[in-house]
Amino acid sequence: MPPVKKPKAVKIEKQATPKKTIDKSKDVVSGQLKKKVAKAKPQKEKGPERGVIIVKHLPHGFFEQQLRQYFRQFGRVLRIRLARSLRTGNSKGYAFVEFEYPEVAKVAADTMDNYLMFQKVVKASYIPPEKQTFNFFRTSLKKVVNKAGKEIYVSDVTKATQRSVKKQNTWDESACQQRTVANLKKIKKLQEKYKDLGIDFSNLLVEPVAKTKKTAEATETAEASTSKAAAKSAAKKQKQTAKKQPTLEDLLGTTINEDSDDEDYVDASDDESEEELKEEEEEQSSEDSDEEEEDLPPPPKKKNKASLSDKLKRKPGTGGVQKKKLAPAAKAPKNAATQKLQLAAAKSLAKPLPKGKAKKSKK
Distance of alpha carbon 124 from alpha carbon 70, whole angstroms: 14
- Output phi, psi for 21, to 5 deg: -85, 125
3-state secondary structure of 77: strand
| Same domain assignment for residues 84 and 128 | yes
Domain-ending residue, one of 186, 209, 237: 237
Q: Is the pLDDT assigned to residue 60 strictly greater than 80?
A: yes
Pair (114, 179) in one structural domain: no
Mean confidence (pLDDT) of the chain:
76
For 184-211, letters b (16+ CB in 10 Å) and e give eeeeeeeeeeeeeeeeeeeeeeeeeeee
Residue 51 near residue 99, CB atoms below 8 Å: yes
Checking if the pLDDT of 262 tops 70, the result is no
Assigned domain for 7 exists: no
Place 236 in a pLDDT band, splitting at 50, 70 and 90.
Answer: confident
Tell whether 57 and 128 lie within a shared domain: yes
Domain boundary among 212, 237, 262: 237
Last-in-domain residue among 237, 262, 281: 237
- The full DSSP string for 86-144 is TTT--EEEEEEEEESSHHHHHHHHHHHTTEEETTEEEEEEEE-GGG--S-TT----EEE
For 57, the domain range is 51-138
Contact 140, 81 (CB under 8 A): no
Q: What pairing do the DSSP bridges indicate for beta strands 51-56 and 91-99? A: antiparallel
Would the pLDDT of 238 be above 50?
yes
Distance CA 284, CA 280 (A): 6
30 part of a folded domain: no
**63 and 132 together in one domain:** yes
Structural domain includes residue 242: no
Same domain, 59 and 114: yes
Digit-coded pLDDT (tens) for 180-234: 888 889 988 988 888 888 888 877 776 666 666 666 677 778 777 777 788 888 8
Q: What is the CATH number of the domain that holds 128?
A: 3.30.70.330
- Tell me the pTM: 0.40
Q: How many domains does the chain have?
A: 2
pLDDT reported for residue 260: 47
| Same-domain status, 127 and 175 | no
Could you tell me if residue 92 is inside a domain?
yes
Tell me the sheet residues that pair with 81: 96
Higher pLDDT, 153 or 325: 153
Q: Is the Cα torsion angle 304, 305, 309, 311 positive or negative in sign?
A: positive
Q: What is the pLDDT of residue 54?
A: 96
Q: Are residues 99 and 177 in the same domain?
A: no
- Would you place residue 104 in the very low, low, confident or very high pLDDT band (cuts 50, 70, 90)? very high
Using alpha carbons, select from 63, 54, 69 the residue that is nearest to residue 153: 63
